[in-house]
């Protein structure tokens, strides 16, 4: 459903929604202004937009090339994208900062709730970009929530691991470190819950899969369901060699290796119960994700 507005926003209305979780029935006050989803065509964003539309929520999907144009590097796109929105799903692609000026403009334009997609382990990795984004959101004056997600399952078929998987070798300087890989659909479901229900202001949730896996175990699962040989190489030397082979500048590769090494030193990630608490169901297992991706041809030649 596409919604456009002109002039003053419509008055709020009361929507009676059945909450099937625990067979409860809740009365939810929904505002007819829209939810603006940044990165609306991306891995999490498009799943979030679909989920919100299926639920009948007014949503606007913003991206550089979408129906609602938004570009972090083009401030003239910011205000039109914010028009008519009172809730904001906030994210920025890797390497792009969340601009405090945009968040300030959002609040001035009537956004009262901001949900930021962040990552686990950012302190250990020294991710100043996301640490600054979290600080900006906390100081925005809006009703804020931070979703710290673990490694996306979809990194292996839609993201930056896909090429390595297809080449048969994934190198990361993480050794036997185990992480609680999470499906992008579960991140979207958690975000939808926070955007459309009350009680999440000033909170941070860890959005994870159901159990921690090493990268070697994850790659083994993919190799099995995809029917192709894939191996994991877990040393710094392996990682730097692979990065050099694909043309990554040495300084960038060494900086990333240092960040990964710092993460590895923090120890295995523990899964949280936040997906179940927010959505009423358990998160998808990595095995289920991999089987579905393989069936869809994700790793076919």
Whether pLDDT at 166 is above 70: yes
Residue 5 pLDDT grade (very low, low, confident, very high; cuts 50, 70, 90): very low
Which percentage of the chain shows pLDDT scores above 90? 86
H helix or E strand, kind and range, residue 136: helix 128-138
- How does pLDDT run across 44-81, given as a tens digit for each residue? 999 999 999 999 999 999 999 888 999 999 999 999 99
Which percentage of the chain shows pLDDT scores above 70? 89
Q: Are 127 and 100 in contact, with CB atoms under 8 Å apart?
A: no
Nearest residue to 195 (alpha-carbon basis) of 103, 85, 272, 120: 85
Question: CB under 8 Å, gap of 24 or more: what pairs does 214-218 form?
Answer: 214/176, 214/177, 214/178, 214/179, 215/170, 215/172, 215/174, 215/177, 215/179, 216/176, 217/178, 218/156, 218/181, 218/286, 218/290
Question: What are the extents of the domains in the chain?
Answer: 13-293
181 has which bridge partners?
Answer: none
- How does pLDDT run across 230-280, given as a tens digit for each residue? 999 999 999 999 999 999 999 999 999 999 999 999 999 999 999 999 999
Q: What mean pLDDT value characterizes the chain?
A: 90
| Distance in angstroms (rounded) separating the CA atoms of residues 173 and 266 | 13
Nearest residue to 190 (alpha-carbon basis) of 118, 278, 117: 278
- The CATH superfamily assigned to 13-293 is NAD(P)-binding Rossmann-like Domain (3.40.50.720)
Whether pLDDT at 199 is above 60: yes
């Amino acid at each position: 459903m596409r919604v456009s507005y002109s002039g003053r926003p419509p008055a709020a209305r009361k929507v009676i929604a059945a909450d099937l979780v625990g067979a409860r029935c809740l009365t939810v006050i929904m505002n007819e202004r829209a939810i603006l989803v940044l990165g609306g065509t991306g891995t999490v964003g498009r799943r979030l937009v679909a989920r919100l539309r299926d639920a009948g929520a007014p949503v606007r999907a913003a991206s550089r090339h979408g129906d609602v144009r938004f570009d972090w590097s083009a401030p003239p796109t910011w205000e039109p994208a914010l028009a008519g929105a009172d809730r904001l799903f906030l994210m920025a692609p890797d390497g792009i900062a969340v601009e405090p000026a945009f968040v300030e403009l959002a609040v001035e334009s009537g956004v009262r709730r901001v949900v930021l997609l962040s990552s686990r382990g950012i302190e250990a990795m020294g991710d100043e970009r996301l640490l600054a984004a979290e600080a900006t959101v906390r100081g925005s004056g809006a009703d804020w929530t931070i979703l710290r997600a673990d490694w996306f399952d979809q990194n292996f078929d839609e993201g930056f691991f896909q090429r390595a998987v297809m080449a048969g070798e994934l190198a990361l300087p993480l050794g036997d470190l185990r992480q609680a890989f999470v499906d992008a659909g579960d991140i979207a479901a958690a975000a939808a819950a926070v955007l459309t229900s009350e009680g999440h202001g000033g909170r941070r949730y860890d959005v994870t899969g159901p159990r921690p896996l090493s990268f070697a175990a994850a790659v083994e699962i993919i190799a099995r369901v995809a029917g192709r040989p894939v191996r994991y190489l877990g040393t710094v030397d392996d990682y730097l060699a692979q990065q050099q082979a694909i043309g990554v500048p040495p300084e960038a590769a060494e900086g990333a290796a240092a960040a990964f090494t710092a993460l590895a030193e923090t120890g295995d990630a523990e899964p949280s119960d936040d997906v179940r608490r927010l959505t009423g169901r358990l998160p998808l297992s990595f095995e289920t994700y991999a089987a579905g991706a393989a069936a869809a041809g994700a790793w076919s030649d």
